[in-house]
Structure 1
């Protein structure tokens, strides 16, 4: 008799959730079903269940509604939203039909609550930052176990001891970069799908202040007008890890995807944390600075400050950021989830 399937709910904001889910599921062929909005395009030895979008709009959504009142155990529970209704029906229907051994929730307190109400244990993927609000704490309490996709040294000091004790910390969940020979004069700016407040004018000013360096930008964004000769806006790439590994210095936020790729490639890093709910990136940036693993700037530096900022990054001991990457992290995460599915 085949073992019961494992569901993996994939949040639709940002790219890191999808990449992490697909990489973990690929290590247990035929066992996982990835569930989420936009997962139908993912390819691998797993099933997918694409479910309706529940967002009020596709961009700028922080995962919370504007209701005057709602239960403290929920972040997002709007009235009269057909996407929310259809989404809950699809997840509950899949659970009823497939009788999964486990649902990995990456991430949604509402989906975790729905799974518990459908008699299904969860492993909750716990992101960084201050998640001590009632809704997150209830999701943590209701979970069979917690999985943090980052090194324990990046933990937020506000996290309660009981949450830490229930958490398995596993770094190295970014896709490993292919070997690349770094180009010392290349500054790689990496933006994730979660969005950035950096403008084309900001990029042009930085490149203009450092004419001896070649600036490359991957992720969303349009080239500025006019565009300096040493600035190349590449857009999306299928191999962001390889592009990051080839850079002399990487500039980016503190999202799991970018940070994971930088750590895996052991590249000098200028971290400019983006505004995210629950201080997720700010908390990680503070920890990176304390560890001496990155040059941290709270906002995009002025043009005149870029030469010194890049020089400072070049003096970093890259062994410190490399120490935040576990080469066996994906295998450990998959083994942990499979073990929880048999508990």
Structure 2
């Protein structure tokens, strides 16, 4: 049986959610590699290797001070860091058993896999990624998958294969009708105090009923909450937007500061398609209430975000690169 490695970046929940959505569409042995602990609900037949961390001080000094970018050639490869060495060694040890590697996301893992002779499917992220490490990763990959729809004016010959937004909720029947006057806020927590304070202030001053779901109030399955909300207030992360699209929800999108203006790029695409009310900057509570009013009047057609079939399309790219020719229905 064809064997595929899948590197799952540990930051946030989105990379893991994408893997879990695509895995059932792959007719292959799939081995996930990540710093994350083995998740609950891993599909039958999927293997999980928990990698050593490479961002902790193991008594050798802070890795951020150990020339991690190699003079701007890489994003993260700290010198003389044992965790980093063990991490890459674990990936290399598995390589002889694999036919291809999916990397979501890491320039260093892309480079390692290619040096080991594995064809790489690189999962791209939006934003201004013109730096040398990103350019290196794109050159080394056999295929570059963009999990969002093709932007208008995308140049002919673009290296990206746009598969649409990938959501674990794609194809799920609605479990509730939208309830007038309800707002679901996705995100926030200790890592984003500005967002958390804004949502709390808006909820306290609003005549609507707000539900907050995010860090500190995590919902393992937010589907019913997405269906019930008249308006969803969310940041512009790829998975959050795909989930909103799967529910066909009206949305206010507040892009948050991220490296390479990642969320800004997604928000710009959403605004251009007229799918959501998008704010350039974080408003005050009254401003957010006005944005919610505007979003409640929308009738968005989310089919253009390409959620239906997106996971299978990414799986088809992986199967092609691994030369299996087989994609499970």
Normalised by the length of structure 2, the TM-score is: 0.88
Change (3 A) 1:283 1:260: same
CA distance in structure 1 between the aligned counterparts of 2:71 and 2:146, rounded to whole angstroms = 26
In the alignment, structure 1 residue 315 sits paired with structure 2 residue 297: yes
What aligned pairs does 1:1-343 form with structure 2 within 5 A after superposition? 3-28=1-26, 30-42=28-40, 43-45=42-44, 46-56=46-56, 67=67, 70-96=70-96, 98=97, 100-153=98-151, 165-176=158-169, 177-179=172-174, 180-191=176-187, 195-210=191-206, 212-221=207-216, 235-319=217-301, 321-342=302-323
Once structures 1 and 2 are overlaid, which stretch shifts more, 194-203 or 100-109? Answer: 194-203
Once structures 1 and 2 are overlaid, which stretch shifts more, 110-119 or 46-55? Answer: 46-55
In the alignment, structure 1 segments of 5+ residues that lack a partner are 58-62, 222-234
Q: Could you report, residue by residue, the CA deviation over 1:158-191 in whole angstroms, capped at 9, with x for unpaired residues?
A: xxx58x6222111141112551321221110011
Maintained 8 Å contact 1:197/1:274: no
CA distance in structure 2 between the aligned counterparts of 1:85 and 1:70, rounded to whole angstroms = 15
Q: Could you report, residue by residue, the CA deviation over 1:55-85 in whole angstroms, capped at 9, with x for unpaired residues?
A: 248xxxxx98773862443111112322211
Number of aligned residue pairs: give it. Answer: 314
Maintained 8 Å contact 2:189/2:196: no
Task: Name the counterpart of 1:229.
Answer: none
CA distance in structure 2 between the aligned counterparts of 1:71 and 1:306, rounded to whole angstroms = 42
CA distance in structure 2 between the aligned counterparts of 1:133 and 1:169, rounded to whole angstroms = 21
CA distance in structure 2 between the aligned counterparts of 1:149 and 1:114, rounded to whole angstroms = 23
In the alignment, structure 2 segments of 5+ residues that lack a partner are 58-62, 325-329
Secondary structure at 2:70's aligned position in 1?
coil
State the shift of 1:288 in Å. 1.3
State the shift of 1:131 in Å. 1.1
State the shift of 1:202 in Å. 2.1
Normalised by the length of structure 1, the TM-score is: 0.84
State the shift of 1:316 in Å. 1.8
Maintained 8 Å contact 1:54/1:87: yes
State the shift of 1:4 in Å. 2.9
State the shift of 1:237 in Å. 1.2
